[in-house]
A and B are shown apart, each in its own frame.
Chain A
Amino acid sequence: MSDLAQQAELTTRSGQSGQPLRLGVAEGMAGVLGLFLLISAVAPQFLAPGDPLGIDPLAAFAPPSFAHGFGTDESGRDIYTRVVHGTQYSLVIGVAATAIGLGLGIVLGTLAGMLGRVVDFTVNRFLEVLFAFPGLLLALLFILVFGPGVATATIAVGLSTAPGYARIIRGQLIAVRGAAFVEAATVLGRTRWQILLRHILPNTLAPLFVLATLGVGQAIVWAATLSYLGLGAEPPTAEWGAMLSAGRTYITSAWWMSFFPGLFIVLTAVTATVLGRSIDRRMRHA
């Protein structure tokens, strides 16, 4: 959640930093949606006061109506309430998975970029092995070993995104390490640690922030995929992927059961992407 808070802070900061803040239509919509998702994640009762797990067999399979905006599922649970309450799972999984991937990527990338040729060679070969597997396959392998569940799914998604981040960080580090201002800091008598902390890492990680925002959207889709396959959150947990999976059986008769969770997966991913690109553009501009 702290990443989200940072993301929100950065969005406002980039607005304050001088240039007139001109929001595009897509950015505005993404902003509104992002706010909605944020509230859903932090205080779902505020938007959907009902109980996401409360069953009402009499109202089962009700199509979208005034009483049940998104309809109900096979046990009469309100889909809208479940979708809203499910946001926190998806966002937590998405953000946590990205944090894991990024954290691991930073460690691996920094090792490869900073510690000389032997380490660089070793880390690179390791990354290449990981790259040989499609990301989702890697996640599946991990779950195969450690068993299904929300935590393993999150870690699995994080692990499978790590090699990509590590690569980018390594390249960025190598570029920044050779920059003239790093040499200038050496001439000023700074130690390697001071240079690493004050020049190299900030200049390496700033562009990464954008990538991470984009990555959250991707991670949410992957986590939902795992839940859909029954390897992440399990029904009746109000997680979007799991809801999608549960709705699959009734897709011909009760389309709303899978449509709305699916819609929110897509909307969340798109929101994260649009916000990420918007931040990227602003940072480039500044």
Chain B
Amino acid sequence: MSAAAVLSVRALRVGFGASAPVVRGVSFELAAGECLAIVGESGSGKSVTARSLLGLAGANARVEADRLELGGQSVLGLTDRAWRVRRGKDVGLVLQDALVSLDPLRPIGREIADSLRLHTTLGAAARARRVLELLDAVGLSNPELQVQKRSGQLSGGERQRALIAAAIALNPPLLIADEPTTALDVTVQAQILALLEQIKLSGTAVLLVSHDLAVVSRIADRVAVMHDGLLIETGRTERVLVAPQHEQTRRMVAAVPADKPRGTRLSLAASMPLAPAPIVSARADSTRPTASKPDAAVVRETVVLEAIGLSHSFRRPDGSRQLAVDDVSFSLLRGHTLGIVGESGSGKTTTARLLLALLPLEQGDVQLFGQAWSSVSEKRRRRRRASVGAIYQDSLGSFDPRWSVGEILTDALGRALPQTRSARRSPENLARLTTLLDEVGLAATVLPRRPLELSGGQRQRVGIARALAGRPDILICDEPVSSLDVSVQAQVLDLLDDVQRERELSLIFISHDLGVVQHVSDEVVVMRSGRVVESGSAARVFTAPEHAYSAQLLAAVPRLPG
């Protein structure tokens, strides 16, 4: 162990109860001023590892290691009391969900001052000064004002900054950040990453935990890839990203959508070659001559869905109205994907609901195949609803909690009422269900299960299957992959790409993630505060953005180097 190591871990093993250990022998060291990123999928054991370093693995956790040293002192088997002295002083922690991590009833200033009060002899006035210094250091504007606010009054980025301020209040030599930017918009994410980098440069060792390689590549000096409780690959960031050694690492690198041209596979099958072949050529000889883009441009530049000057406003609590969508226009061409991108509050989801005619339009019109769609009565629209499918971000919430996957899909396939049990179990129905599940890459074994029992990726596949059941021409996808791990996201994006080609679907793809939108879209609409700031072909917008805001968004997208 080098003298400068702030953290030294050898053969860390963590298990819960009688079940098999979730961390099965992890070793690494971290020096002052260095940033190590532990990257892995959900369930790989990365968060448990990070929490064990703070003695927070949980009351029923068995933490064992050959060595576990913080600042040269062993912290194995410390009591809760002994840990409390060290937490905050020797090691700080920043969690993903700042809204939950901060007490909603106390001003953030008091939250930050807490650790100062417990660990230092500073008086009240000195503490207040130090809190202001800290808030200033983490880049919160107007610290004098912000210090009074409660976490609910702050934006996501401000909350995360406040949390970081609390974590570094005592100048701990080690800062552990567990998915610190996952819930944030790209531009805010970029700012938080810059802040963490600055903390690193000031000499603090930073341990970053994330599922997203592209995010950590920005500031990490070294990357450790975790899979199934083990570190399968560790190395300098550039080396791991450019020349990954391990299969799993390769898969994760491939899963990052930004800068990968449309049609490139993101998920690597285990047997696939390292350089993924574009799916277009792979499918060129398939029975249906689906369209590579040039054809489409010549043959069918048909507008399937057109939004003309959409506007919608919400009533504020004081009775005044707030425009959520303001004069938004675009058109979706057959077989194309239109990406709508913007940060939270930009009106993307309201636009999606307007397109689905779930909200009344105040101005403008949505036309489907050149016919009125939003201005007709729901009764007349209902017959045509089958041609527009929807995929939601919160797939779990979009399923009736009382229904099994089989019931959900049977319901989506037919519209017979009442739905009898025998009809559901008939061979024809089972065959139809199996075909549908097959198309989204699920086995028939999921049929009797409830969505709650499925993983996030499986759920989203069921959501896609449901949307496909009515044989739609258009799919409206509202943040379909935002709640998924990068690797699962890659599979779902590939699946969407496949079904789009197979069924010649036109897609509206809404996301806050520019990398994803860049990967899937033919045309792009950039939204901000309910308005379209820029629209055009994806190739043009992503290479030569005309609007300053698009350029700013683009600059913030996490990318892999090289």
Contacts and interface: CB of A to CB of B under 8 A. Distances in A.
B470 A206 contact: no
B397 A181 contact: yes
B478 to A, nearest CB: 10
Q: Determine the interface band of chain A, counting residues with CB < 8 A from chain B.
A: 10 to 19
A186 B398 CA distance: 11
B288 interface: no
Contacts of B385: 186-189
A191 B382 contact: yes
B358 A179 contact: no
A194 B416 CA distance: 10
Interface stretch (A153-161, A164-172, A197-205, A241-249): A197-205
Given A189-B383, A194-B417, A184 B398 contact: yes
Query: Which A-B residue pairs are the 10 nearest by beta carbons?
Result: A189-B385, A180-B397, A184-B398, A180-B398, A187-B390, A181-B400, A189-B382, A199-B400, A181-B398, A181-B399
A194 B397 CA distance: 19
Contacts of A184: 390, 392, 398-399, 466
A2 B401 CA distance: 26
B400 to A, nearest CB: 5
Given A180-B394, A189-B383, A190-B415, A203 B388 contact: no
B418 to A, nearest CB: 8
A56 interface: no
B470 A188 contact: yes
A3 interface: no
Contact of B412 (A179, A188, A198): A188
Interface string B350-374: 0000001010000000000000000
B399 A189 contact: no
A128 interface: no
B389 interface: yes
Interface in A49-94: none
Given A186-B385, A187-B390, A197-B417, 7 more contacts: A184-B398, A184-B399, A184-B466, A185-B400, A189-B382, A190-B415, A203-B402
Nearest to B399: A181
Contacts of A188: 385-386, 411-412, 466, 470
Given A189-B383, A189-B386, A190-B415, A202 B402 contact: yes
A223 B383 CA distance: 52
A206 B400 CA distance: 13
Nearest to B386: A189
Given A181-B400, A203-B401, A186 B358 contact: yes
23 contacts: A179-B397, A180-B392, A180-B398, A181-B397, A181-B400, A181-B401, A183-B398, A184-B390, A184-B392, A184-B398, A184-B466, A185-B400, A186-B385, A187-B390, A188-B412, A188-B466, A189-B383, A189-B385, A189-B470, A191-B382, A197-B417, A198-B411, A203-B401
Contacts of A194: 417
Interface SS of chain B: loop
Contacts of B411: 188, 198
A13 to B, nearest CB: 14
A116 to B, nearest CB: 14
A185 B412 CA distance: 9
Nearest to A193: B417
Contact of A189 (B400, B415, B419, B466): B415
Contacts of B358: 183, 186-187
Contacts of B470: 188-189
Nearest to A198: B417
Interface in A230-258: none
A187 B356 contact: yes
Interface string A189-222: 1110010011100110010000000000000000
Contact of A206 (B356, B382, B402): B402
Contacts of B389: 187
A180 B388 CA distance: 17
Contacts of A191: 382
Interface string B396-416: 011111100000000110010
Contacts of B392: 180, 184
Contacts of A202: 402
Contacts of B419: 198
Contacts of A189: 382-383, 385-386, 415, 470
Contacts of B399: 181, 184
A183 B382 CA distance: 13
A182 B345 CA distance: 23
Contacts of B401: 181, 203
A114 to B, nearest CB: 16
A189 B411 CA distance: 11
